[in-house]
Structure 1
Amino acid sequence: MQSVLMGLSLLILGDSHFGMQNYLITTLQDELIRRGAKVASYSACGSPPSIWLTVRVASCGTAQRVQSGAITQQTGANAKTTPIDQLVSQNKPNMIVVAMADTIGGYTKPQMPKEEIQEQVTALTDKIRSMNIPCLWVGPSWGTEGGPFMKTFARVDELNKYMATVVSPCTYVDSTKLSKPGAWPTFDGQHYTVDGYKAYGAALADQIAKMPEVQASAKR
């Protein structure tokens, strides 16, 4: 298992699910490293995908972690993103993973904002396309219904199916296939408990490792 992803260098751009210890910035990252990958994760909490195009302040903080190092977090005016150009130059990935979905799902809105979603996704995928780096886009996971974010299984399903059609040239990773609705515990409907993130991280790492695009990049 340890050498499956040897040669793979991943740059992960995530949202609040990568925001702190025991979230995916540790559970997913540690599992990918265990399988042989080099991983650098960057999180922008409460932000749309286009935040990675320029230096901007993430509304509820940033976090970053390179390989097995410590997590660096910033809040307030110091929570500034680093543009993807610089992140690619620093980390030299041979694959990019974008894991941003909940922040653009419009859970509090009666209708899913398709135009806004496509605009945000395309802003980042166009940039990645110009860099000619293979990419994955991780879609929303089920979470649990209710809570302050007003997440529902129906909207997650709708968002997931729509995002799968607009993330090209990235390959879509369907998080809803990794568990049954509500199977992983959350504390607010959207963010998982420690056990929930352990389950999500393990399942997501397993799915990523199986993908032909990932295996091809690892062999380069």
Structure 2
Amino acid sequence: MQSILMGLSLLVLGDSHFGKPDYLITTLQDELIRRGAKVATYSACGSPPSIWLTARVASCGTAQRLQSGPITQQSGAAAKTVPIDQLVATNKPNLIIVAMADTIGGYTRPALPRDDVQEQVTALTDKLRAMNIPCLWVGPSWGTEGGPFMKTFARVQELSAYMATVVSPCTYVDSTKLDKPGEWPTFDGQHYTVAGYRSYGTALAQQIAQMPEVKAAIGAR
């Protein structure tokens, strides 16, 4: 188990699901490290994917964690993202994982904002294509219906299906295949309980470790 991802250097760009201790910045990262990967995670809460192109303030904070180190959180004006150029130069990843979906899903809107989704995804994938670094894009997970974010299973399914068609050259990772709708508990419809993030992190790490793109990145190091 500990050697499956040996030689893999991962840069993870996430949203609020990576923003606090015991979220994916803990559970997913620890599972990837346990499998041998070197992992650096950066989270921008409440922000679209394009926030990683420049230094911008994330509306509800940022978080960073390098390997098994502590989580560093910022809020307010100090919660600025680091542009992806700098993150790549610092961390030297051979694979990038983007896990940003809920913030562009338009859950409060009557229809999926497809143009906005494509614009935001393409802003980052165009940059990744130019950098010629293999990438995975993790789509939305089910959560539970209701709550302040007005998440519904139907919208998650629609958003996931659409994102799968626009994230190239990244390979799509379908979170809806990892559990059943509502299986993992949340406290607000969108963000999971500690037990929920533990289940999500374990399932996601297992899925990532099995992907041909990951094995290719390890072999090409």
1:138-177 aligned at under 5 Å gives the runs 138-177=138-177
1:3-152 aligned at under 5 Å gives the runs 3-152=3-152
- 1:123 CA drift (Å): 0.2
Aligned-partner SS, 1:159: helix
- 1:206 CA drift (Å): 0.1
- 1:15 CA drift (Å): 0.1
Unaligned 5+ residue runs, structure 2?
A: none
Equivalent pairs, count: 220
Alpha-carbon distance in 2 for matches of 1:28, 1:11? 13
Alpha-carbon distance in 2 for matches of 1:134, 1:54? 21
- 1:110 CA drift (Å): 0.1
1:159-198 aligned at under 5 Å gives the runs 159-198=159-198
Give the structure 1 partner of residue 210 of structure 2.
210
TM-score computed with the length of structure 2 as normaliser = 0.99
Q: Which amino acid letter does the alignment assign opposite residue 102 of structure 1?
A: D
Alpha-carbon distance in 1 for matches of 2:55, 2:32? 28
Alpha-carbon distance in 2 for matches of 1:130, 1:64? 25
Alpha-carbon distance in 1 for matches of 2:187, 2:218? 36
Deviations 1:102-136 (A, max 9, x none): 00000000010000000000000000000000000
Aligned-partner SS, 2:13: strand
Identity of aligned residues (%): 82
- 1:218 CA drift (Å): 1.6
Q: Which amino acid letter does the alignment assign opposite residue 124 of structure 1?
A: L
Unaligned 5+ residue runs, structure 1?
A: none
Alpha-carbon distance in 2 for matches of 1:133, 1:68? 24
Deviations 1:159-205 (A, max 9, x none): 00000000000000000000000000000000000000000000000
Q: Which amino acid letter does the alignment assign opposite residue 135 of structure 1?
A: C
Q: Which amino acid letter does the alignment assign opposite residue 24 of structure 1?
A: L
- 1:216 CA drift (Å): 1.2
TM-score computed with the length of structure 1 as normaliser = 1.00
Aligned-partner SS, 1:42: strand
Alpha-carbon distance in 2 for matches of 1:198, 1:76? 28
Alpha-carbon distance in 1 for matches of 2:67, 2:77? 26
Alpha-carbon distance in 2 for matches of 1:157, 1:139? 10
